[in-house]
Chains A and B, each alone.
Chain A
């Protein structure tokens, strides 16, 4: 798992080390990135969505998608029982078919980390936790850092932080940058290792594609291990064009710095067909290097059951109903 220690020298060696030296230099850099043409980006995403994934390719893609899921419950009504049930589902998504792969991670609020960690003992399923005053991110920095440290102390393997969209939209890029750096530091464990940091942009609130490209670079420069579209709590969450743009950003970032960053679209991806479209985007934009759960994730809760139903259809030749997969 990459850490700041692994990340920093790459950035330093790429001539980008001084980018965040001042508000002005950071702004100059972000505004100097190539623009995004809305029509062209959306057309490209739509074209990739027309790829026809059948038979062997579909079977492969379904298993890959299952293994990339961050199975998520982020509700005020979450209970210990609910989280344990979700963890069980993550370990054995389809009890009728032991060949079904496990999900990548279970994503919960910080107070549920210990429960999830205990329930997942003995597996390689990660526990991800949304910290930093998720989903609004409207709290003082010390509170966000405490939130993060608490989740890490409880055993979280991955931290999904939200950025301060207000700061970004008002042009205080350096504040956003510094906050990400600080949260990353709060991900540090006593043994010196770091929890994996995923930075959530809430792209639906950032509105423009130019903003999405800028915030992607901003987060990567600040040391994000993953960039993630959204919280799943607003009207517009992950969309294919936004995800495609972020895939292009991580591709360009690696070409320039040598540092690889993961991507996680989240929210609103509910069907196998949707998931296939995202995998095709990864396949044709980044290729093999990102087509693993280590570098690409789906933030989803209801997607898994649709994937399981499609999987059953491929193995049995028949469509079953929603009662042939478990509700949690």
Chain B
């Protein structure tokens, strides 16, 4: 485009017509019990301990339910149940295992509204995302790995690859049901049995998934769910009868697990933090790049390990792009996660909100310039305005540390080489985005970026057929696709 005149256009909140609230009914989430135990050996059982934790709705701060803090004994029981089920489950022909997985996938689809609403209530993410992104992907993962169950001989891991045994899986709170699907679907398809621990702020959909396992007639003990906080997770990953550990979560916890498992025969896959660079060149499709930037960092309140939290923009289009980005950010609707028109929901917990606040304060203190659209935030609950930092340099904390919130740091570059250098200059290496109309540049960049996933002219797109995982402190191992099978096979 010809040189842009610098018009000071007021950035204003969206339009003349304010959308009336379009709330999804909380009742659609189904009955939420006042307290939950574990799901072990196909039964809902009480914990052996008396300690209970509470899960709250982050949008209202209301307690939704109590759930058990899993003890060592609970973990022991669950692992034993999984071990017992392993013999029969792994001996089933792949085509039989596939039937169960297909059945689970179909039940997830049938109950998707219920699961979407429950996920939104427990996690704080907008119903628009659980309905349109999370649940379709959950079903897709089960369908996809169901398809592999009887074709493992042809997956490229040699003839008749064998399952590992009992998989201990620990998942985070940002995509509770989706991470469960990423972990459970390939494990079951390959003939393993699992003990899964959901995050302590979001256990409800995993427990609802336990019901689905029963509805699907899944043999007892193939899937076990033990709830609790980090102590329960540590007991699970340390358990001597667990053959495989899969963890998604923060880098410090991942590092602790790696230490814990070093020297054992357990197989480990880690999917940890990230600080992705979203790189915009001057020939990028500007309007779509703005959408990609927004989707990259504000999707799921920025609670995404592969979020495009560092915007690297070519200096020549910086002003134009930032004007467009601010204009677009002003139309984001923050509020009630159950409103179908909400774009950004609640921050998952008070603890996470405090962390985001501390890091953004540090950004200001270190001299970066902060900008947020003026939008009203609800009185109760945990909220954070979508935030943009300009004038950020690599030496700022907000350019180095994972914020895990709706906060974007903007840096600039002048040449492709500089973009690569800055993009790779982080301890992480999970994902990256490239925006340019030049195909050869996309390939040139993708070859040089140290990131497990590189998106071109898009961002935060997931598909069960595509492997996902990191470099450096973002972990190791891959989930999804044919590569995702390897983590659960003895190869």
Contacts and interface: CB of A to CB of B under 8 A. Distances in A.
Interface stretch (A39-47, A117-125, A304-312): A39-47
Contact of A36 (B4, B21, B128, B288): B288
B341 A52 contact: yes
B15 A53 contact: no
A146 interface: no
Nearest to A42: B288
B284 to A, nearest CB: 7
A279 B437 contact: no
Contact of A34 (B287, B292, B457): B287
19 contacts: A29-B2, A32-B2, A33-B1, A34-B284, A35-B284, A36-B287, A39-B458, A40-B285, A51-B19, A51-B340, A51-B341, A53-B20, A54-B20, A54-B21, A57-B17, A58-B20, A248-B287, A283-B14, A287-B12
Contacts of A106: none
Contacts of A37: 285, 288, 457-458
A291 interface: yes
B283 interface: yes
A138 B19 CA distance: 44
A55 interface: yes
Given A34-B286, A40-B457, A14 B20 contact: no
Contacts of A139: none
B259 interface: no
B1 A287 contact: no
Given A284-B14, A288-B15, A44 B5 contact: no
For A19, A54, A58, the residue with the greatest tally of chain B CB atoms inside 10 Å of its CB is: A54
A57 B20 contact: yes
Contacts of B292: 40
Contacts of B284: 34-35
A61 B132 CA distance: 25
Interface residues of B, number: 34
B291 interface: yes
Contacts of B287: 34, 36, 40-41, 44, 245, 248
B19 A53 contact: yes
A291 B16 CA distance: 8
Interface string B86-129: 00000000000000000000000000000000000000000010
A44 B22 CA distance: 20
* Chain A contact surface mostly: helix
Interface string B2-13: 111101010010
A52 B21 CA distance: 8
A56 interface: yes
B118 to A, nearest CB: 20
A317 interface: no
Interface string A270-289: 00000000010001100110
A256 B16 contact: no
Contacts of A35: 283-285, 437
Contact of A283 (B1, B17, B291): B17
Interface in B114-153: 128, 132
Given A35-B437, A40-B285, A52 B17 contact: no
A45 to B, nearest CB: 10
